Amino acid sequence: MASTYGGGRRRRIVAATAVTAAGLLLWPGTAYAADVTTTPTEARQGDAVRLEFSVPEERAGTKTNQIEVRLPADAPIAEVYPMSVNGWAPRINSRTLDKPVAGIHSSGVSTVTTAVTWVRVGASDPGPARLALSMGPMPQAERLTFEVVQTYADGTVVRWADATGPHRAPTLTLLPAAPGAAGPAAHGG
């Protein structure tokens, strides 16, 4: 009876080990791990959000010198502020709208950010670049897609702009505004 108990225990250990090994072997490979990602992945329409972009270093032997995040032209965001990041300096490009949009700090904003370009200045943290934008209020859209243009020191340019494939553009899903939300000019999360 003792050997049956011990044999059953061994079988469970072997089965658990096999499931764990299979999970590790089937875990998404580097194609998924190397995507440009955003944190968070969703926000509410009308809210403010701090959106962090994580941009991988894919090329051995060279570093990223510049990262441009292009905001969606068809869903302007009234206020966009690059956050301070060690080793990176932001530059903001903007455009004037024909019709103003509601902002967080103003009822009508007519000049909006079209892109933020971070340029490497000195040493930065190792690993993927983690660059953040505070923005809002989020527009009335189901999803925002951000094109990211990464330029390496050797001149190679990688465009993260595809809907599918190895260089997918990062997206932010927008949920409907929370019931009883104070409106587009209120401070969000």
In a domain, 3, yes or no: no
- CATH number reported for the structural domain that contains residue 64 in this entry: 2.60.40.2230
Query: Region 36-54: what's the mean pLDDT?
Result: 97
Count CA within 13 A, CB hemisphere, residue 23. Answer: 6
Distance CA 133, CA 55 (A): 14
pLDDT tens string 111-138: 999 999 999 998 777 789 999 999 999 9
Q: How many domains does the chain have?
A: 1
pLDDT tens string 22-39: 333 333 333 334 799 999
- pLDDT for the residue 183: 55
In a domain, 118, yes or no: yes
> Between 59 and 116, whose confidence is greater?
116
> Between 133 and 60, whose confidence is greater?
133
